[in-house]
Amino acid sequence: MSTPQQSSANPGGKSGLPWKRILVKTGIVAAGVGACGAVVLGLALALAWPSLPDLHAMTDYRPRVPLRIYTADKVLIGEYGEEHRNVLRFDEIPPVMRQAVLAAEDDRFYSHGGVDWMGVARAVLTNVVKGSKSQGGSTITMQVARNFYLSSEKTYSRKLYELLLTFKIENELTKDQILELYMNQIYLGHRAYGFAAASRAYFGKPLSEVTPAEAAMLAGIPKAPSRFNPITNFPRAEIRQHYVLGRMKALGYLTPEQADEALKQRLTIRGADGTSARGFAVHGDYPSELARQLMYGVFQEETYSKGIDVYTTIDSKAQEAAYRAVRDGVMDYTRRAVYPGPEDQIDLPDGVESDAQALDEILDGVQDKTPDSEDLLAAVVLSASPTEVKVARSARDIITISDKKALAVVARALNPKASDSQRIRRGSVVYIHKTGGKDSDTWEIINMPALQAALVSMAPQDGAIRAMIGGFDYNRGNFNRVTQAWRQPGSNIKPFVYAAALERGFTPATQISDQPFMLTAAQTGSKDWQPKNDGNKYEPMLTLRQGLYRSKNMVSIRILQAISPQYAQDYLTRFGFDKSRWPAVLPLALGAGGATPLQVVNGYGVFANGGYRVTPYLVDHVTDRSGKVLMQAQPVKAGDEAARAIDPRTAWVMDDILRGVTTSGTAARAHQVLKRNDVGGKTGTTNDAVDVWFSGFTPDLATTVWMGFDQPKSLGTNEFGSGLALSTWLDYMQPVLKGMPEAKQPPRPDGLLVENGEYYFAEFPPGQAVASLDLSSGDALTDFLNNNRSTDGVDTSVKPLPSPGGAALPQNSNNSAVQPPLQPIPVPSAANVAPGGMAGVATSGLPAAGIPASGVPAAGVPASGVPASGVRATGVPAAGMPAATLPAAGSAEDAAARASAVTTSSSVIARPL
């Protein structure tokens, strides 16, 4: 019996299933798996779909909107909050920006249903190959879903919810709505959310003005905001930009010519290469920060998310002119001073220039330690000689400095024999500055200035602050010297003493001795005191007018002694000065007291506006996101007799005298440069030129400039208020007054007599007014203290006025602050204002507080009258000074915030210039 042969279909001798049965079983298994998957998916959908969030937050989009600070002409100068946003409607977003985003992120956005399945498949394949979940296939809709509701973690469960939410978004919103949401809320680095905020942060311009090159740069950021933003890493951002421009060209958004032009455009990035990191067109850091403090005092933490818009009184053109004037003035002084040496010295390996990456790493470290300051750029010296210095900003940015004038500033430091601390050599870290404008190729080496400055400009009619610069560089410390620095005003205080004398019977024609004198230690109770005129130059006699024109110290001291230091001390409070900071001693006549630049300019505003004390204010009105006015300032204005500070005749005569100072006196350069007859002002220089000032005004604008070191020390023997401070004042006033018509002198007030071209109060007519304070005997001190007689034998006793020359001002412990009450508008949104507002102000308005305790002082105003303390019945001042009144020479009071000292020593007196 034969054995059956094995079938060729079953070579192994094993029984098997025909191929059809295999297919059937495979199909059954697949169907089962599919059914199970469908059930699982259905259950997942049933559970997940109802838990998906409502899209109300998208359709009624209300992001956390930061506090924004604007100038009076609606230029943004500040923004505060965790998220910087500018929400735009779809039609407000320029097409080039939309196209750049689509090219970079999702070119099939308008054709897919929310999920680009080809992109998803590509991402899945990449993840399988790499064995990780490192890549996704996110579309714009998916990114909107993730950024609104979901985390960014790369898990499959999160991806499922993202897909479901994506379908829901696509079902309920239009494509344009989705793209609008994406472009308003995507994070783009440096606290910028949305492309409008990013455009301002990186380019300092509104989104409507971006070029294709700038749009491509912005569109490249979302891929990796920390790595592809142009401030953090410009080379990487530029590579990404070129990719986006290539995609825009390939998709037909740009012609080849447009793409080539965009590739060639040189971008200026804010916050890089010495530009402002804050990204605003106007340097309004100091007023912006002050406004923020005021708002925080009312709204607390809601300040940064409520969407508050603050409109200040700042004029954008005036503010920028002030910034440039202060910057240039400080830089000019720094060039004249001795170059102190490099900022730092690093070890720079030989030949590192040939290794771009290594050099850039070194320079990055230098930038971290020695950051740029606007147009002052940190660089490392590669080589140095007396005729040429080569520095590096980056491996591809090597600058050669060979201009003879520029090198002359640092000539000592280029001498091989210079000390190690001063010498410029390879590895020195220096600051460089481009001279001759932006298009110039000429550079200079200059040290980071130590000199500081403050400029404040206000409208004397109502106190509106038009410009405020509180220091050389806000980013190096936001200490605001306008409101926080207490310094000696020097001769800047003299006009207020002279004004007091006018109300005590003096006239511009009063003759006063300019001869030197000395008080002995027995008379002062401490040390001898012998004040001097600048240069030890003295005249036999000068009129009061001439004494102020020429800023004569001897004349000022004699005036103060005649009216009494106590009277002058009280009189100063009418202008807003803090009585406690002005000891009633003779050095007061020379500025030995303490004042902030804001107080000083406010005082000069009284002369400019006819004798009214107004409160400087910064915030005009406050609105919410919808534009509803929440608060409105209602400042006191000149003309309101309740604000009368001094007799209108006093104000008029002082205005006339101070105009003469700018034409014939120590500030004559003001008239020479401005060529206007409506300008008055006064210089001020303290002893050893520790502080220099200039305060000047027109009827429409009063401006004070202060310059000095934070740690008080001499500016140098050749520095005066008539030079350094006046130059800065003129650099500001020239552009600001350009095109402004010259104001006529106001009409002469009633009760003011004229004889021989000079002015007399009606109650002190010629023959009765004080005619002279002179020296007629051999005893100069006796004559100084006791001689007060007229030339025609008429009794000219100094008589106290029955009133201070006008209605008394109410006592106010906070009347010198930067902001009068803002009256709230009765709208529902005002209900969110914190009860009571800031300390010391009624709940009916925005208070003036909110400034640090070291800020603006609470100078009082005398409630009524002015005492005649220190004046004899016959009008002759009491002989001598109380032993304890005159301070010891060399004594000092540290009354300044953050090392801004106020010296009240009798040995520290004012120069006349």
Span 464-499, pLDDT tens digits: 999 999 999 998 888 999 999 999 999 999 999 999
Percent of the chain clearing pLDDT 70 (strictly above): 72
Encoding tokens for residue 521?
Answer: 């230690």
724 burial class (0-12, 13-18, 19+ CB within 10 angstroms)? buried
What confidence tens digit (pLDDT) does each residue in 39-48 have? Answer: 555 555 555 5
CA distance 868 to 563: 8
How would you classify residue 838: left for phi > 0, otherwise alpha for psi between -120 and 50, otherwise beta?
Answer: beta
Q: Residue 499: its pLDDT value, please?
A: 98
| Alpha carbon 444 to its chain's center | 26
Please state the rounded mean pLDDT for residues 662-688: 93
Please state the rounded mean pLDDT for residues 152-179: 74
Indicate the pLDDT class of residue 835, thresholds 50, 70 and 90: very low
Give which of 794, 911, 811 is closest to 861, Cα–Cα: 811
Encoding tokens for residue 240?
Answer: 């990404």
CA distance 279 to 268: 11
CA distance 524 to 431: 50
Indicate the pLDDT class of residue 784, thresholds 50, 70 and 90: very low
Q: Residue 867: its pLDDT value, please?
A: 27
Give which of 232, 240, 317, 243 is closest to 270, Cα–Cα: 232
Stated as kind and residue range, the H or E segment containing 144 is: helix 140-149
Whether the predicted pLDDT of 2 surpasses 70: no
Indicate the pLDDT class of residue 903, thresholds 50, 70 and 90: very low
How would you classify residue 849: left for phi > 0, otherwise alpha for psi between -120 and 50, otherwise beta?
Answer: beta
Indicate the pLDDT class of residue 123, thresholds 50, 70 and 90: low
Q: Residue 623: its pLDDT value, please?
A: 95
Whether the predicted pLDDT of 730 surpasses 90: yes
Whether the predicted pLDDT of 700 surpasses 80: yes
Indicate the pLDDT class of residue 862, thresholds 50, 70 and 90: very low
Contact, 81 vs 67, CB < 8 A? yes
Q: Is 105 a catalytic residue?
A: yes
Whether the predicted pLDDT of 744 surpasses 70: yes
pTM of the full predicted structure?
0.70
List Cα–Cα distances, 249 to 94, 132, 256, 795, in angstroms. Answer: 17, 34, 6, 95
Which residue in 79, 105, 170, 289 is the catalytic one? 105
Q: Residue 13: its pLDDT value, please?
A: 47
Q: Residue 901: its pLDDT value, please?
A: 28
Whether the predicted pLDDT of 133 surpasses 50: no
Please state the rounded mean pLDDT for residues 16-32: 67
- Residue showing tokens 């609008």: 180
Indicate the pLDDT class of residue 817, thresholds 50, 70 and 90: low
Which range among 28-32, 591-595, 661-665 shows the weakest confidence by mean pLDDT?
A: 28-32
Encoding tokens for residue 426?
Answer: 């390879």
Please state the rounded mean pLDDT for residues 114-129: 65
Kind of pairing between the strands at 67-70 and 309-312: parallel
Please state the rounded mean pLDDT for residues 23-43: 64
Please state the rounded mean pLDDT for residues 817-831: 51
CA distance 494 to 74: 39
What confidence tens digit (pLDDT) does each residue in 203-234 have? Answer: 878 898 999 999 999 988 887 776 677 877 78
Indicate the pLDDT class of residue 808, thresholds 50, 70 and 90: very low
Contact, 624 vs 308, CB < 8 A? yes
Please state the rounded mean pLDDT for residues 234-239: 83
Contact, 696 vs 670, CB < 8 A? yes
What confidence tens digit (pLDDT) does each residue in 498-524 have? Answer: 999 999 999 999 999 999 888 888 777
Please state the rounded mean pLDDT for residues 643-654: 97
Question: DSSP strand E in 500-608: where?
Answer: 511-513, 541-543
Please state the rounded mean pLDDT for residues 601-607: 98
Q: Residue 196: its pLDDT value, please?
A: 87
Higher-confidence residue of 600 and 57: namely 600
Higher-confidence residue of 608 and 789: namely 608
Q: Which of 276-280, 536-540, 702-706, 901-905 has the highest mean pLDDT?
A: 702-706
Encoding tokens for residue 166?
Answer: 């994506």
Residue 500 makes CB contacts below 8 A (sequence gap 6+) with 563, 567, 568, 571
CA distance 756 to 159: 94
Encoding tokens for residue 57?
Answer: 């937050």
Q: 140-149 and 156-172 are packed helices; what angle lies between their axes, rounded to 10 degrees?
A: 110
Residue 632 dihedral angles phi and psi, to the nearest 5°:
-140, 130
Whether the predicted pLDDT of 264 surpasses 70: yes
Which residue in 491, 513, 551, 906 is the catalytic one? 491
Encoding tokens for residue 296?
Answer: 């925080």
Q: Residue 275: its pLDDT value, please?
A: 45
Indicate the pLDDT class of residue 273, thresholds 50, 70 and 90: very low
Q: Residue 477: its pLDDT value, please?
A: 81
Q: Residue 733: its pLDDT value, please?
A: 97
Give which of 563, 601, 394, 586 is closest to 483, Cα–Cα: 601
Whether the predicted pLDDT of 557 surpasses 90: yes
Higher-confidence residue of 456 and 887: namely 456
Mean pLDDT of the chain: 78
CA distance 408 to 579: 48
Number of H helices, E strands in the chain: 28, 25
Q: Residue 39: its pLDDT value, please?
A: 58
Indicate the pLDDT class of residue 1, thresholds 50, 70 and 90: very low
CA distance 176 to 182: 10
Encoding tokens for residue 847?
Answer: 């208070």
Q: Residue 149: its pLDDT value, please?
A: 57
Contact, 704 vs 456, CB < 8 A? yes
Encoding tokens for residue 102?
Answer: 């689509």
Which range among 110-114, 391-395, 889-893 shows the weakest confidence by mean pLDDT?
A: 889-893
Q: Where are the alpha helices (DSSP H) in 251-379?
A: 256-264, 285-299, 316-336, 356-369
Please state the rounded mean pLDDT for residues 155-167: 69
489 burial class (0-12, 13-18, 19+ CB within 10 angstroms)? buried
Q: Three-state DSSP class for 181? A: helix
What confidence tens digit (pLDDT) does each residue in 307-330 have? Answer: 899 999 999 999 999 999 999 999
List Cα–Cα distances, 425 to 235, 243, 341, 413, 414, in angstroms. Answer: 29, 41, 10, 9, 8
Contact, 258 vs 441, CB < 8 A? no
Higher-confidence residue of 250 and 793: namely 250
Residue 715 makes CB contacts below 8 A (sequence gap 6+) with 333, 451, 689, 690, 692, 707, 708, 709, 724
What confidence tens digit (pLDDT) does each residue in 609-622 have? Answer: 999 999 999 999 99
Whether the predicted pLDDT of 893 surpasses 90: no
Indicate the pLDDT class of residue 279, thresholds 50, 70 and 90: low
Indicate the pLDDT class of residue 824, thresholds 50, 70 and 90: low
Whether the predicted pLDDT of 201 surpasses 50: yes
Residues in the chain: 913
Beta-bridge partner residues of 389: 384, 401
Q: Residue 642: its pLDDT value, please?
A: 95
CA distance 528 to 518: 7
Amino acid 428 reads: S
Higher-confidence residue of 29 and 680: namely 680
Q: Residue 221: its pLDDT value, please?
A: 87
Whether the predicted pLDDT of 904 surpasses 60: no
Amino acid 330 reads: V
Please state the rounded mean pLDDT for residues 351-374: 85
Q: Residue 842: its pLDDT value, please?
A: 25
Stated as kind and residue range, the H or E segment containing 765 is: none
Amino acid 268 reads: T
Please state the rounded mean pLDDT for residues 844-855: 29
Q: Is 491 a catalytic residue?
A: yes
List Cα–Cα distances, 240 to 103, 222, 246, 338, in angstroms. Answer: 12, 11, 10, 46
Contact, 658 vs 666, CB < 8 A? no
Amino acid 121 reads: A
CA distance 716 to 337: 9
CA distance 889 to 529: 7
Give which of 763, 561, 573 is closest to 649, Cα–Cα: 763
Q: Which H, E and C letters describe 19-31, residue by residue? A: HHHHHHHHHHHHH
**Exposure pattern of 23-39 as b/e (b: 16+ CB <10 Å)?**
eeeeeeeeeeeeeeeee
Longest dimension (CA), the chain: 172
How would you classify residue 591: left for phi > 0, otherwise alpha for psi between -120 and 50, otherwise beta?
Answer: left
How would you classify residue 351: left for phi > 0, otherwise alpha for psi between -120 and 50, otherwise beta?
Answer: left
Indicate the pLDDT class of residue 138, thresholds 50, 70 and 90: confident
